[in-house]
Structure 1
Amino acid sequence: MAYKPRYVDSHWSLVVGISSFLAQMILGGYVFTAGIFYTIFKEQFPDKNEVVVSWLCNLPLTLWFLTGPLGSVLTNKFGCRLCAVIGGLCSSAGLALCFLSTNFYMVFVLYGIVAGIGNGVHYVAFITVINKYFLKYRLIANLISSIGVTTGMAVYAAFIPSLTETFGWRGCLLIIGGISFNLCALACSLYPTEPKQSSKRAIELWLLQDTYFMLFAAHCVFCNLSSSIIFLHLPALILSFDLSMTVTSLALTVCGLANCFGKICHSVLGIFRKPDTCVTYTFSLLVCGTVMILFPLMQHKIWILFMAALLGSTYCVTGGYTPEVIMNLVGTENISDGLGFGQVAKATGSTVAGPLAGLLYQWSSSYKTSFYIGGSVMISGCMLMIPVIVILRRRRNNQKLSVYTEVVLKPET
């Protein structure tokens, strides 16, 4: 009888799944509402130019991706539970200590760097443990976990403006830091599923020589560059239309809820009918890029909310489909390495996005430019996926032909 690690596919797995959902909700809540903090910091630090403020607000997302390798090292060294506790402490402390900040540079270090590093470390620990606790329902567990990110965005977007108005921006960050301290409590649910391994497999550097994987990595750079610019300037664009902060937060909430609904629809589709993941992923992002370009064309409230819903529902494929595309490219045995390199590619796009967003506004004095450029970059990234779609279809057809030849045409012995 094959060995099955303890707690795997057990009742405790459900507890871990819920903990992962809540953890992603807390992390995604403040990271993906960076656009709201952009408007806040821009008002509080009028002496700082657009580039610097944009960079600050984009740092938490950038470091979320960039510190993925650090999270992997800590997870391998100390285990998922301790790694998640360390990340939670770092994230909550960075946000809460902003209450004591007296200048822009303290906010830059605490909000942008300290909390951002904590995000990445905590995220890697929870994503790793999800794949250890679930075997039969692993795909569904990962999809539900990713829904937590956009649920957090929808919830936080609704109450951050109220918190800021009542307690000020420092008090708001102190409260969010206190909420983030729950990341440590959630980490306590991560019991080890198996004995600690004495050695780890080296990272597969050959992936960097694979043409099609590198095309996908370049696509990830384009995708995150585009989305980071859009979500950073989305609240500022709506406010520039002389619409209220209430409409702005409502648009972000609608975007987050539509993203969650889209993920649920894709997970149901995956259960009852296996779609071509690469084609579905690329087509959805192609539509997303088109929506970005069309978004600023009208300034009516209904149009804004409708386009926000389309933006969230089309961008949702980056949560559940990305691991599937990577697995199809590199194989199941190399999925962790593929995800690691994918995170670095995403971080590259996010790193460039902050300063670029500021430069675009300085150059044009309009937030519409960010949407036109961002949408064009997203569409260009989708074009890079065409050779990937072709090679994956060719591999799938060859596998089917191989199975047919071996099973049907195999001579009787």
Structure 2
Amino acid sequence: MDSSVKAQKVKVAMPTAPAPDGGYAWFVLLSCFLVFGLTFGVIKAFGVFYVEIHQYFETTATGTSWITSIAVATIHIVAPVASALSAGYSHRSVVMLGGLICSIGVIIGSFARNLTELYFTVGFLNGFGYALTWTPTVTMLGLYFEKRRPVANALASAGECILTFLLTPMFQLLIDSFSWRGALLVLGGLQLNLCVCGMLLRPLKGTRQVTHVGEVKAEEELLTKDDSEEEENCLEEVERSLREGSDQCKVKKTYSPEDLDEKPANKNSKSRAKRTNMRTKILRYVDYTLITNARFMVYSMFGVFAALGFFAPALFLVPYARSKGIEEYQAAALMSISAVFDLFGRVLFGWVANLRLVETVQQLTATVILLGAVLLLCPLASSFPELAAFSAAYGLVFGATVAIHITVLAEVVGVQRLGSALGFFMLIRSSGGLLGPPIAGFFIDKMSDYGTGFLMAGVALIVSALFLLLLHQMNRREQRSHSKNPDTPLDKVGRAKEEDVTLTMEKQFHKRQKC
């Protein structure tokens, strides 16, 4: 055997199995439902703790709001890490680890002596755990559903609404009975259920990695498709010439295998081998090529400005109502009203998106503009009936928005890249999640009016809708380009179908082996 030929182990990512859209997929949906509730549902219900912590430490609105901001920003920043860990290990183990970190962070936070310790525990540690649970679960849901993906995302995100509805009055009751510290202890125990959610995430058949062992030339891994075809043609000519014993053999001696194994070529091949192997390994965990996707970057900018307005209203609704003279349980009930209509909006508009009557990006644009308009009207409400009407309208339109924004992301990049795309999207959006509540708190402190926080959120959401309009125009331009070049494969919304880089390289590799 030639010394240049050696056995190599090649990890092959098997093609993703078709989404079953049923069967065990419903258990994955249940897991995602609970994860939404125990992460973002808790964040929305945290406004009850906000009032108590604000009074206990006698701090400003901006200072207290940093707890939620740090948690939200950490979720976004750590999302790519969660995606990479899920690819390297498993979605199940990463979610279980995240649930454990959440619980530990909140339990330690119940003993905090100052705001700084709350920033680290209830803010950073809790947000870190949320990222490890939410990102892999949503990615797994996208793999299990295809035809029913909009409805599945809507039903899963409904967990945020239902648990917000249940947790808000429960937190108020726990605070009245055991103080905010005791309520945090109970919350820490409750979040251990995220580990149970992780256990439900069974890998989809066909997505696991397998190992093949073959004897190949080391340099063969590095050849491009054109180079490999040229080499194969040369070798075929040499073999044919030798068999026929013709004079052509003398001419083709320059293409002998020995000449192909020259030292300079080997050095270049080995250098390309290292670069290719490194690139393949990185792409398996983090698809950094997404930053070159113009539509993805435009959608990420939408996420940044939307995040400025998404989280502030839920945090300041209860304090705003209390500042208007509404009593404690009525103020907490506003969040429950919002959660009920939020649930209705997610299910209804998720179903509408599934009908494909209009492009999902158009539907998302309309709901984001409506949400911004509703928030701008909030300062006009002062009595409980008026605030209840605002909470209902806010919940309905917010649910309509959240129900489909992940579906739009899957359409922008394709489901095969959803894991990495979701991580990068959350990372880019982190700046909006981090700065939204503190900016709103800054205006509240300056104007001594919680209503200014809602005005800031409304303006940010309307600005974010401009990026959705730009994305829609880019989609239209791609569709017109496709109509002129029908041979270019497009997905359902008219975007070019992007190949998985790792899988393509491995297919070429096995093709060379056969030759």
Instruction: Tell me whether 1:143 sits opposite 2:154 in the alignment.
Output: yes
Q: 1:158 aligns with which of 144, 148, 169?
A: 169
| Alignment partner of 1:95 is 2:90 | no
Which SS does the other structure have where 1:282 is aligned?
helix
Deviation at 1:240, TM superposition (A): 0.8
Report which stretch shifted further, 110-119 or 375-384: 375-384
Whole-angstrom CA distance in 2 between matches of 1:17 and 1:213: 26
Distance across 2 between alignment mates of 1:135 and 1:331:
11
| Distance in structure 1 (CA, Å) of the matches to 2:303 and 2:15 | 37
The alpha-carbon deviation at position 73 of structure 1 amounts to 2.0
Report the alpha carbon displacement of residue 270 of structure 1 after superposing the two structures with TM. Answer: 2.8
Q: Compared with structure 1, are the counterparts of its residues 405 and 237 closer, same or farther at alpha carbon in structure 2 (3 Å cutoff)? A: closer
- Taking structure 1 as reference, are residues 206 and 84 closer, same or farther at Cα in structure 2, changes over 3 Å only? closer
Tell me whether 1:219 sits opposite 2:302 in the alignment. Answer: yes
Q: Counterpart of 2:307 in structure 1: which amino acid? A: N
Counterparts in 2 of 1:113 and 1:237: CA distance versus 1, 3 Å: same
Q: How does 1:51-66 map to 2 (within 5 A)?
A: 51-66=62-77
Partner residue of 2:47? 35
Q: 1:360 to 1:142 in 2, by over 3 A?
A: same
**Deviates further, 316-325 or 237-246:** 316-325
List gaps (5 residues or longer) in structure 2.
Answer: 1-13, 211-280, 490-515
The aligned amino acid for 2:437 is G
What CA distance in whole angstroms lies between the structure 2 residues aligned with 1:331 and 1:87? 26
Quote how far apart the aligned CAs of 1:396 are: 3.6
Q: CA deviation at 1:9?
A: 5.0
| Higher mean displacement: 238-247 or 191-200 | 191-200
Give the match for residue 169 of structure 1.
Answer: 180
TM-score, length basis structure 2: 0.72
Post-superposition Cα deviations, 1:137-156, rounded to whole Å, max 9, x if no partner, equal 34332221111122222221
C-alpha change, 1:317 and 1:201, in structure 2 (3 Å) is farther
Q: Determine the C-alpha separation between the residues in 1 that align with 2:149 and 2:383.
A: 42
CA–CA separation in structure 2 for the residues paired with 1:305 and 1:71: 38
Structure 1 residue runs without a partner (length 5+): 407-413
Tell me if 1:20 matches 2:103: no
Residue in 1 that maps onto 2:477: 394
Name the aligned partner's letter for residue 23 of structure 1. V
C-alpha distance after superposition, 1:19-47 (max 9, x if no partner):
2212221222311223222212101110x
Q: Which residue does 1:86 correspond to in 2?
A: 97
Distance in 2 of aligned mates of 1:4 and 1:206: 20
Q: Deviations over 1:80-106 (max 9, x none)?
A: 111111000001111122333333333
Instruction: Name the counterpart of 2:445.
Output: 362
Please give the per-residue CA displacement for 1:315-353, whole angstroms capped at 9, x wherever unaligned.
224423223333443344443333222212321101112
Go from structure 1 to structure 2 and tell me whether the alpha carbon gap of 1:271 and 1:180 turns closer, same or farther (over 3 Å shift).
Answer: same
From the superposition, tell whether residues 334 and 56 of structure 1 become closer, same or farther in structure 2 (CA, over 3 Å): same
Q: Does 1:285 align with 2:343?
A: no
- Given the superposition, is the C-alpha separation of residues 62 and 317 from structure 1 closer, same or farther in structure 2, using an over 3 Å criterion? farther
Question: Does 140-149 or 265-274 show the bigger shift?
Answer: 265-274
Distance 2:350 2:118 in 1: 39
**8 A contact 1:32–1:153 mirrored in 2:** yes
Q: CA deviation at 1:372?
A: 1.6
> Match of 2:134?
123
- Corresponding position of 1:411: none
- Tell me how far apart the structure 2 counterparts of residues 329 and 405 of structure 1 sit (CA, whole Å): 16
1:371 aligned partner, one-letter code: F
Task: Choose which of 349, 356, 370 in structure 1 pairs with 2:432.
Answer: 349
The residue type paired with residue 185 of structure 1 is V
Which amino acid in 1 is paired with 2:24?
A: W
Residue type at the aligned position of 1:17: L
Q: Could you say what secondary structure the match of 1:11 adopts?
A: coil
Q: Deviations over 1:167-211 (max 9, x none)?
A: 110111111111111111222222333464375536444443444
Report deviation, 1:224.
0.6
Q: Which letter maps to 2:312?
A: I
Matched letter for residue 172 of structure 1:
A
* Cα distance in structure 1, aligned partners of 2:356 and 2:93: 39
Q: Is the Cα contact below 8 Å between 1:27 and 1:152 reproduced in 2?
A: no
Aligned residue number for residue 234 of structure 1: 317
What letter corresponds to residue 35 of structure 1 in structure 2?
A: G
The Cα of 1:62 is off from its aligned counterpart by: 2.1
The amino acid across from 1:128 in the alignment is T
Q: Tell me by how many angstroms 1:160 deviates.
A: 1.1
Whether the 8 Å contact between 1:81 and 1:187 is mirrored in structure 2 is yes
Query: 3-12 or 266-275: which moved more?
Result: 3-12
Output the aligned Cα RMSD: 2.7
Contact 1:42 1:53 in 2 (8 A): yes
Q: Which residue of 1 aligns with 2:412?
A: 329
**Mapped contact 2:365–2:468 kept (Cα < 8 A):** yes
Find the aligned partners of 2:18 and 2:476 in 1 and give their Cα distance. 38
1:15 partner amino acid:
F
- 2:209 partner SS: coil
- The aligned residue for residue 108 of structure 1 is 119
- Letter of the aligned partner of 2:86 in structure 1? T
User: In structure 1, how many angstroms separate the alpha carbons of the residues matched to 2:22 and 2:474?
Assistant: 38
Residue matched to 1:304: 387
Q: In the alignment, which residue of structure 1 is the partner of 2:61?
A: 50
- The one-letter code sitting in structure 2 at the alignment partner of 1:57 is T
What TM-score, normalized by structure 1, do the two folds share?
Answer: 0.89
- 2:209 corresponds to: 197
Number of aligned residues: 404
